[in-house]
């Protein structure tokens, strides 16, 4: 008997967003510990070596109140921030990818709707 694999397809009434968390920390500088969640969806803790990333996708809720926040730790440094907020990033904007990049000097933001490749948003 042949094995049949069915890939789940996510269909959204609103827009589907993808958020990438990436470590662009220096080699041999330790792991980035990242915990991201929303009110309804805890994505768990991820330990990322330099040049590793974690991606998740979700549908913005119908009332456009979706909020995901992240907490990053790197050695003694840490920071918390909103990784996705419908009020500022959603609401019908067609962003296929939102990226948060941990670098030695801070946290950088990217979205594929911006003319600027990457913007530093936070210092450690």
**Tens-place pLDDT, residues 81-111:** 999 998 777 655 666 789 999 999 999 999 8
CA distance 120 to 107: 6
Q: Which residue has the higher pLDDT, 6 or 115?
A: 115
pLDDT value, residue 10: 62
pTM score of the predicted model: 0.84
Check: CB of residue 99 under 8 Å from CB of residue 71. Answer: no
Q: Of 110, 21, 2, which Cα lies nearest the Cα of 74?
A: 21
In the chain, where are the structural domains located?
A: 3-123
Per-residue DSSP letter, 71: E
Residue identified by tokens 């991606």 is: 55
| Cβ atoms within 10 Å, residue 75 | 12
pLDDT band at 64 (very low <50, low <70, confident <90, very high): confident
Q: Which CATH number fits domain 3-123: 2.60.290.11, 2.60.40.10, 1.10.1740.10, 3.50.30.10?
A: 2.60.40.10
């Amino acid at each position: 008997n042949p094995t049949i694999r069915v890939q789940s397809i996510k269909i959204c009434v609103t827009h589907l967003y993808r958020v990438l968390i990436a470590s662009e920390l220096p080699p041999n500088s330790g792991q980035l510990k990242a915990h991201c969640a929303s009110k309804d969806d805890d994505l768990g803790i991820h330990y990322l070596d330099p040049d590793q990333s974690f991606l998740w996708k979700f549908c913005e809720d119908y009332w456009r109140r979706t909020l995901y926040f992240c907490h990053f730790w790197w050695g003694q440094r840490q920071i918390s921030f909103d990784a996705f907020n419908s009020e500022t990033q959603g609401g019908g904007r067609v962003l296929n990818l939102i990226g948060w990049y941990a670098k030695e000097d801070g946290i950088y933001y990217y979205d594929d709707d911006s003319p600027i490749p990457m913007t530093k948003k936070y210092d450690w």
